[in-house]
Amino acid sequence: MKYLRITLLFIIIAVSKTLHEMFKKSDSHSQLDMFSSPTEYFRDSKRKKYLKNDSWHNQFRNHVVMRVDESIFSVLYTEGNGAPNASIRVLVGMMILKEGQGWSDEQLFENCQYNLLTRSALGLMSLEDAEPVPSTYYLFRRKLVEYAREHGEDLFKKCQA
């Protein structure tokens, strides 16, 4: 009986800890994988151009996506409200690219899947890095709208300040 109580106590602590840690920040140190990096398929001049710091996709990733303060969005993912199954940075970057490029939703998702420059801009550095699925993107946008309606605060604008 004592063993059962101790086991139940550990289970309660583990579940409680999990519920309080629903929001998880993205890894800010993505590395190029030698076997799944697009650079492995480029020859000299193409590789240099792709890796060039002043290329638009590298500028966007370094100065927009990586500077998104994800903690601003933690209020969207509280206990019982789920957790994002994609990087908040990537989702915000997708929203900015969509509007900036004038893409339809379909064009956005297609570029995120197949355009190496768009993937790099979002920090999806490996061919194996999964882009957010449409339902995750739409749920994030819906949560932003609902939060703004309920609290009078636009988190998307706040993260860009």
Q: Which of 72-81, 90-99, 100-109, 111-120 is predicted least confidently?
A: 72-81
| Gap between the Cα atoms of 71 and 145, Å rounded | 17
Domain boundaries, the chain: 2-160
- For residues 112-130, average pLDDT: 93
| Gap between the Cα atoms of 138 and 84, Å rounded | 12
Instruction: Look up the pTM and report it.
Output: 0.75
Residue 101 has pLDDT above 60, yes or no: yes
DSSP codes, 28-74 = S-----TTT-GGGGS-HHHHHHHH-TTSHHHHHHHHTGGG--GGGGG
| Gap between the Cα atoms of 49 and 42, Å rounded | 10
pLDDT at 24 (0 to 100):
52
